[in-house]
Structures are given as C-alpha cells and as structure tokens.
Amino acid sequence: MVEAPTTLLACPLDAAVRFKRGRAKPRAIAWFGFSAFWGHLRHLIASAIATDNVDSRQWMQPDEPAALLDRVRHVLRERGAGEGSTLVEAMGGEVWIDFVADTGDDVSVSKEVAKLVAREYSVADPNGEGQLILPRGQVLIHGGDLAYPVATVREISRRLLDPWNHVLEATTTNSAPRVLLGVPGNHDWYDGLDGFARLCQLPSDFEAPPANTRETLFPTTDDHPVLAWVSAFSRGEIVKKPGQLALYGYVPVQRASYFRLPLAKGLDLFGVDRQLHEIDRRQRAFFASKDVRARLVVLPDPARAWGEVRHNGAESIKSLELNLNESPSYVLAGDVHHYERSHEGPSVHVVAGGGGAFLQGSRIAGGGVYERTKEFPGPLASTSMLWGLPWHIASGGAGLLVWGYLGALQAIELYVHLRHGADLSTPLAIVHSLIVAFATALLVGWSRHRKHRILPFALLLGFFIGVFPLAIAITTDKLGLELRAGSLVAVVAAWLLSTLASCAAFGAMLALIARLGLNHAQPFAALGLPCFKHFVRMRVRDGESPVVDTFVIGVIDPLGGSAPVLVDSFQWKP
C-alpha cells in the first residue's frame, strides 16, 4: 500500500518547547562522557597525523565529471534516466535531491529522521499552481559525520545503518535504486575515512558490486571494540570488519572523497573534502575549471554559522577561488547542528546539520556579522534550553568526565586541608584555580576572541572552583563541626556540596558564554538535546537559467510525536 504524501504544517513561531529523550541503546553520546572522550582522543591522533601531512587524498583518483554523470545515469536508468549532458537533462527536465548531515547519534532519533527522509510531502506550489508533491530524492547527498563519536564501521552500523535500513526496507515501494553521494566530515576523518569509504565509495571494477544483503545492511560488529582491538594487537592481527556497508536502496557512485557532477545547464554540483585541515592542491586543480557559471557547493563545514564567519568553511571557499558576491553559488553544509539560511550577493548559504546528532541552538546574542534570513530553532527556543544547563552538568547528564575531574580537585583540596591545614591547602587552591582558568579559556576559544572578553569568565570560574572547597573547610572548622577531626559524614557532605556547586558553576559558565555569543558549540553539545531535526529536499530544473527549489523539512520533537513541519522554502536562480 502506497502511503499518501504528508501535508507539511507551518513551522510554529519561535518559543520554548518540551522534548523527549531516547531510551533505546545506543543512546546519544554524552559530550563530556567516556565515549566522547574516545572520540576526542581519536581527534587528537588524527589531527597529529594530518598535521604531519599524511593525506590519503593524495592516492585518490576522482572521476571526470562526464564519467561520474554516466555512472549516475546508469544507476537511475530504472527511474527514467536517459541520455543528456547534465543530470537534469538526463532525468527529463528536473531532478530531486535530498541532503542530510550529522546523522548517527541516538538510535531512536536516527530512526525518526530516516522516516522523515523516506516520506513524500505535499506543500503549496511556490509558483502558485496548487499543491506540489515533494517526492523522495533520486539522489541522496550525505553532508558528513556519518556517526558519533567517531564514524567507525561499528558506530555507523549501530547508529546509522540499523535504524535507517529497517525504516527504508519497510517504506520503499519501488525497488529501482537511487544514488548515494557524500562528503566526509571531521568525525569521518577521525577514523581515516575507513567507515566512510565502506559506505560511500564505489568498489573497484575487480570487486563485487555493492548489494543489499543482510551482511552489508546489518553488519555484525563487536560489542567490545577496545578489547577486540587489544586482543587482535596482542596476536599481531587486525580486527575483522565487513568489506562493504550499504544503505538500503542506494548505490554509491564516487571513487574519491570529493566529486564534481554536471547538474543542470550552467550549474555544477561540487562535493568538497577539506580533510581535517584544508583542501589539498590536487582537489583545487580538480575544481579549477572556469567554464561553469554557477555552483551548488557541498562543504563539510559551513563558511557561515551563528552570525560568524567560520574559518574552515571560509578557507574552503577561498581555496576554490569563489567570490560569492560575484559568482553565484549555493553553499550547503552540515557540521553545525541547526538550520540557518543567509545571503551574500547572488549566493546563498545554507547550514543544515539536523540529521540526528545533538542540537546546537542558534545565536542568542544580538548582532553578528551578517543577517540570518531563517533559523531553526530560533533564539527564544535556544535561550529556553540553556536554563537547564547548570543542573544538567551537576547531575552528570552531560557525562561523568567533568564530574570526575572537578570531584577529584575538590577531594584533593579537602584531603590536604584535613591533613595539613590552610597553610598548604591555600596555595593548592590557587594552583587549581589557575588550572581551571586556563582550561576554561581554551574551551571558550582563546584564539578566536579578544582576550579581555575571555579572561573574566576563565578567572572567575577558576577562582570559584579552586576556592570553594577551601571556604567550606574553613567555615566548618570555625563553626566547630570538627571537619578536621575526621567526621566521615561531614567530609563526604563537604565534598559532595563543593563538587555539585563546581559542576553547576561550570554549566552556568557555558550558558553565559552562549548567551554572550562567545561560544555556541560547547554549551549545546553538553546539553545533548534530541530536538529540531531536519533535512533538505531540492528540486533542480532547467529554464532560461537553472532553478533550485529548496524545501527544508523538520520535526521539533522527533520522539514526542511531533508532526513534520515546513521549516523553510525558497527558490534560488543563479
């Protein structure tokens, strides 16, 4: 039975929302938890390797645009693809493309996002001709960060393939294949593109073509990957992995981590890979042709977000030698986990990282270096979510690393005070204050902001966390509660109080820096919110010039039964 198209509701006004968290395993990654710590460690190792200029892109051989187009047409022939010098021409005048990014986190949310992408929708035709049906795209572009905390085969299988493939198997009524394209994000590169390549890269001619088998759709992975790695390492072996991964109904077509596809007359699709640092020289030469008037550029991270110019994305635009005020470009990226649209001359910037990972709210502080045309969520909803951040950190909801670290600091200070008194615990408190202040400055973004804006928060938080346990100890001594005499109840109560207060202070600091526009990523990452998910559905068609009709489809509370909403719609004519 074919399901009728879902009529999209209007997106409600910006306001506080209630949401539901997932309970099924694997649950969402806690940003300050031990799983995330493993991802941060992989990040450091991968960054060190990249810094030493070990770059696997040097070995890649991307397809020429015409060759890639031929392969795409071949995959889509059962969907009506014929001859043509562009994909739109081959598809008879228009092609539908879905874009999703930052997907595999909470498995329950991933399943709801898959349902969102798999549906057809009905909206008012932007040309004023009644209702327009938005069919599922013949092409799916993944904008990077397949899974968290690192896009290993195991995490891609558990957090992306398992929920998505169950949904796609159940909802796909036409067995004709669709095309899968992708650009890798930083979490994909932390694993050296191993997981990304197994899913998004076309096998070589001498390998078996990808197929929708149980082994590729639902691969079996080890429940204890670290132990498996240690065991294999001790025997001088390697951990066994599936040869290929598959997304049900989709066929990968690209040979390299970047690609170029003739999309419409005068419009090319660029898929760009900056690795962990920058676009390499071979890729710059690959994209250097001047014969295209306009470009739909998919970046692994945006050139703009939160009202700020983002260094990595801006450098990618610069490397491509694009002047967005003169050369019309549609710049589409994930990485930042909210929706935002802005304009720069004849070009448009779209940030759409709502594919399943934790929410990163919009800019709360006023100002910004550019005007945002549309945001999802808006600043009011984003502000309301931050109120719970101090308690979320203090209760361990963001993970136990902060709790453990600050708890250890408090325990050391109390122990020293019990054994040696204030003469030794006071200088120790000062040392702890300086350590916390330095770590806070790095977390907020010492290198990205003026120092006089960062120092007050860093020093104030450091002073509070360093001095608070000492103040409790001295106060209890003066009140005659015999803390120094070794009362176990008093000692534990003092430690628990100082640890909870320190964690809450850390959470309050995170909320404040978001409120003042100093850092938006870390505060919302700590909250780990499962709401405001979305993807982009585009219709590309020929006319006097190419036209890209864009529909951003979202759901506010994916686990609470929210209906899909039309987040944004616009038309871009280069």
Note the pLDDT of residue 318.
Answer: 93
Q: What is the mean pLDDT of residues 262-283?
A: 92
The pLDDT-based confidence of 50 (bands split at 50, 70, 90) is low
Tell me the DSSP string of 167-233. Answer: HHHHH------EEEEE---HHHHTTTTHHHHHHHBPPPTTSPPP---HHHHS----S-HHHHHHHHH
Strand-pairing partners, residue 339, are: 352, 376
Chain centre to alpha carbon of residue 423: 48
Q: What is the mean pLDDT of residues 435-464?
A: 77
Query: What percent of the chain shows pLDDT beyond 70?
Result: 92
Q: What is the mean pLDDT of residues 473-478?
A: 71
Q: d(Cα 498, Cα 510) in Å, to the nearest integer?
A: 18
Q: What is the mean pLDDT of residues 133-156?
A: 94
Within a 13 Å sphere around the CA of 473, how many CA atoms are in the beta-carbon half? 29
**Helix, coil or strand: residue 546:** coil
Domain 6-359+530-572, CATH number (from 3.30.365.10, 1.20.1560.10, 3.30.413.10, 3.60.21.10):
3.60.21.10
Q: Where are the alpha helices (DSSP H) in 399-558?
A: 401-420, 422-444, 451-478, 488-515, 521-527
Q: What is the pLDDT of residues 67-85, one digit of tens each?
A: 999 999 999 999 999 999 9
Distances (CA, A) of 19 to 340, 446, 498, 514: 21, 33, 31, 21
Note the pLDDT of residue 424.
Answer: 84
Work out the burial of residue 560: count CB atoms within 10 Å of its CB; fewer than 13 is exposed, 13-18 middle, 19 or more buried: middle
N-term to C-term CA, the chain: 40
The pLDDT-based confidence of 431 (bands split at 50, 70, 90) is confident
Rounded to the nearest 5°, which phi and psi values hold at 439? -65, -40
Note the pLDDT of residue 68.
Answer: 97
Is the pLDDT at 488 greater than 80? The verdict is no
The pLDDT-based confidence of 477 (bands split at 50, 70, 90) is low
Kindly report the pTM of this predicted structure: 0.93
Note the pLDDT of residue 67.
Answer: 95
Q: Which residue has the higher pLDDT, 236 or 351?
A: 351
Note the pLDDT of residue 284.
Answer: 92
Chain centre to alpha carbon of residue 335: 4
Q: d(Cα 71, Cα 86) in Å, to the nearest integer?
A: 12
Q: Is 209 left (phi over 0), alpha (psi -120 to 50) or beta?
A: beta
Q: Which residue has the higher pLDDT, 431 or 101?
A: 101
Q: How do the domains of the chain map onto residue ranges?
A: 6-359+530-572, 389-526
- Per-chain mean pLDDT for the chain: 88
Strand-pairing partners, residue 347, are: 344
Lowest-confidence segment of 231-235, 248-252, 382-386, 433-437 by average pLDDT? 231-235
Is the pLDDT at 335 greater than 90? The verdict is yes
The pLDDT-based confidence of 188 (bands split at 50, 70, 90) is very high
For the chain, the C-alpha Rg in angstroms (whole number) is 26
Strand-pairing partners, residue 262, are: 268
Helix, strand, coil percentages in the chain from 3-state DSSP, rounded to 5:
40, 20, 40
Note the pLDDT of residue 479.
Answer: 61
Note the pLDDT of residue 361.
Answer: 93
Contact of 180 with 251, CB cutoff 8 Å: yes
Query: What percent of the chain shows pLDDT beyond 90?
Result: 53
Chain centre to alpha carbon of residue 93: 33
Q: Which residue has the higher pLDDT, 512 or 332?
A: 332
Q: Looking at this protein, which amino acid is placed at residue 206?
A: F
Q: Looking at this protein, which amino acid is placed at residue 555?
A: V
Within a 13 Å sphere around the CA of 185, how many CA atoms are in the beta-carbon half? 28
Note the pLDDT of residue 34.
Answer: 76
Which residues, in sequence order, are CB contacts of 478 under 8 Å at separation 6+? none
Each residue of 150-159: b (16+ CB within 10 Å) or e? Answer: bbbbbbbbbb
Q: What is the pLDDT of residues 159-169, one digit of tens each?
A: 999 999 999 99
Output the six-digit token pair for 35.
């799983």
Q: d(Cα 103, Cα 179) in Å, to the nearest integer?
A: 18
Whether residue 163 has a cis bond before it, omega within 30° of 0: no
Which residues, in sequence order, are CB contacts of 391 under 8 Å at separation 6+? 397, 504, 507
DSSP 29: P
Q: d(Cα 312, Cα 301) in Å, to the nearest integer?
A: 7
The pLDDT-based confidence of 197 (bands split at 50, 70, 90) is very high
Is the pLDDT at 550 greater than 90? The verdict is yes
Note the pLDDT of residue 480.
Answer: 58
Lowest-confidence segment of 349-363, 475-489, 511-525 by average pLDDT? 475-489
Q: Looking at this protein, which amino acid is placed at residue 313?
A: G
Is the pLDDT at 231 greater than 70? The verdict is no
Q: What is the pLDDT of residues 101-119, one digit of tens each?
A: 999 999 999 999 999 999 9
Which residues, in sequence order, are CB contacts of 166 under 8 Å at separation 6+? 111, 114
